Amino acid sequence: MKFFLYFQSQVQKIKPEQGNKMGQEKDEIQQYKELKDEIKEFLVQMKGLSDEEFQIMNMGKKYKLTFQYKENDLLNDMDNDNIEDLNEYIIEEVTEIQEEEEDEDEEQSQNLEQEEEQDEKVDQVKFITEGKEREKYIERLELHFPDLSKKNINIIDQFIEDNEYQNQKLNALYRNFEKERKELKEKVEEQIMNLFNIRLENLEKNNIKVRSQQEQQRLKEEIEAQKKIFEIKQQKIEAQKEMEKEVEQIQKQRKNQEWEQYHGTIKKQAGAYKQEKILKIREKQEETIKRKVEIQQKKKEEVLKNAPKVQQRQIQSYIKIQENIDKMDLKTYQKQYDQERIKYAVQNYQHIPQVEADFKRVVQDTKAREIRKQTVLDKADKVDMQNYQGFTANQLMKDMRYRLSTALQEAGLNSAKYSNQVLNQLSKPSQNNIY
């Protein structure tokens, strides 16, 4: 029944204003009537569930009583300013209904606990009977019931076990039935709660609409008042802008006049500076021309002074060139002379041997080469001149003394006293240590 408390809290939130209370209470009564009709229709639809019909109808009656009281209370107390009595009554009804339901739930829970205890006892008995051997169990029964035969004892025992199994099955079905009925009850409460929430949301929306309309009207009035204020301020701003424009125009005119005066003075200064610069440039040009003339005259004088030396050098260079030409002519003439001499010797050679061409003789070895092949080399001839009589790096690293000295040198301790003491303690290197 939590939805009654939620409904009561929502009613407190949506209290009508003092001016419009009568009309709003009538609207609420009409909404409650509609909600009551919807609950009735919902309960009629739920009659299709035969097992839970009685419980649903009882719940509907409880809800119906609360709505009837609220409706009568609102009709009788239309002129009252508060609804505190209604809220108190709703709280009392809700607490009573909750107490009744709690009592019912306690009874159901007690019944379920008792049934579970009975089932546990039956299970214990069954466990004991099944845990023993069958023959001993039958012998015990025969001693207690000597009038019954063994066959009848087995039949009775089987009947008792079947009866216990059926009772357990019925208890399980009843527990499932109670669970399903409880779940259905919760579902019905959820549905009714949803209906209440929908109605309350509609009430809130209507109140929000009314408030929004009033707020819109108030905002319109404020906007119109602000518009008037804005128009007045806008007129003042426009007048101020016009004044500022006039002041800016006057300042621009003053600046233009000052600029023209300044520009005229600068032009005059620039003209005077240009004339001075032109005069300086002309003076520099005249000085450069004078310097060039003086330099040319000095060069002429030096040439006249050095003329005999130059002529002597020219003569010497001419002589060298002529000598080189003569040498070249001699070389060419010597080549021609040698060729003619060879031709003349060939022509005038009288003894020409008549021998046929032998190509094998050209390919075969000479006598000196044959003698060299037959010679036997001595040990002196087989000496390797490039053989290095020394030690390699791998051979040196085999010596402990050398390895220790290299390690001390890499660490920067080769000049310390400690390194000298250590090296002196080690044995001196020998040929056996290296190889």
User: Is there a single domain that holds both residue 257 and residue 225?
Assistant: no
Is there a domain that residue 68 lies in? yes
Close Cβ partners of 119 (under 8 Å, ≥ 6 residues apart): 168, 171
- Residue 407 domain-assigned (yes or no): yes
d(CA 259, CA 267): 12
Asked if residue 357 belongs to a domain, the reply is no
Q: What is the pLDDT of residue 36?
A: 52
Tokens read off for 245: 């424009």
- Mean pLDDT over 347-353 rounds to 62
Where residue 97 falls among pLDDT bands split at 50, 70, 90?
A: low
349 in a structural domain: no
Q: Taking the complete model, does pTM exceed 0.75, yes or no? A: no
Q: Which residue, among 184, 192, 165, has the nearest Cα to 60 in the 3D structure?
A: 192
Check residue 423 and give its pLDDT. Answer: 81
Same domain? For 288 and 401 the reply is: no
pLDDT score at 151: 74
Whether residues 41 and 157 share a domain: the answer is yes
pLDDT score, position 126: 44
Overall number of domains in the chain: 3
* Pairwise CA distance, residues 413 & 422, whole Å: 11
Has residue 356 been placed in a domain? no
At 210, list the tokens: 């009314």
- Is 21 part of a structural domain of the chain? yes
Residues 2/191, Cβ–Cβ less than 8 Å: no
Q: What gap in Å lies between CA 309 and CA 3, rounded to an integer?
A: 137
Residue 328 included in any domain: no
Helices 150-305 and 21-45, axial angle in degrees (round to 10): 120
Domain that holds residue 44: 2-106+148-232
Residue 74 has pLDDT above 70, yes or no: no
Same domain membership, residue 430 and residue 287: no
Mean pLDDT of the chain: 70
Neighbours of 150 (CB within 10 A): 11
Domain check: are 262 and 195 in the same one?
no
Q: Are residues 198 and 286 in the same domain?
A: no
Mean pLDDT lowest for which of 11-25, 159-173, 329-343? 11-25
Give yes or no: residues 199 and 270 share one domain. no
The domain boundary, picked from 169, 198, 232, lies at 232
Note whether 171 and 219 are same-domain residues. yes
Q: In the predicted model, what is the mean pLDDT of residues 171-184?
A: 79
pLDDT at 16: 41
Greatest mean pLDDT range, 44-58, 89-103, 370-384, 406-420? 406-420
Same domain, residue pair 214 and 259 = no
Same-domain status, 181 and 263: no
**At residue 113, does pLDDT exceed 60?**
yes
Least reliable range by pLDDT among 141-150, 154-163, 289-298, 345-354: 345-354
Does 158 score more than 50 pLDDT? Answer: yes
Residue 160 lies in a domain: yes
Domain boundary among 273, 307, 341: 307
Say if residue 95 is in the same domain as residue 159: yes
Residue with more model confidence, 324 or 17: 324
DSSP per-residue string spanning 367-428: HHHHHHHH----TTTT--TT---S--HHHHHTSHHHHHHHHHHHHT-TTSHHHHHHHHHSPP
**What is the distance between the alpha carbons of residues 85 and 18, in angstroms, rounded to a whole number?**
17
Same domain for 186 and 295, yes or no, is: no
Q: Which of 285, 307, 329 is the last residue of a domain?
A: 307
Whole-angstrom distance, CA of residue 160 vs CA of residue 164: 6
Q: Which phi and psi (to 5°) does residue 385 adopt?
A: -75, -20
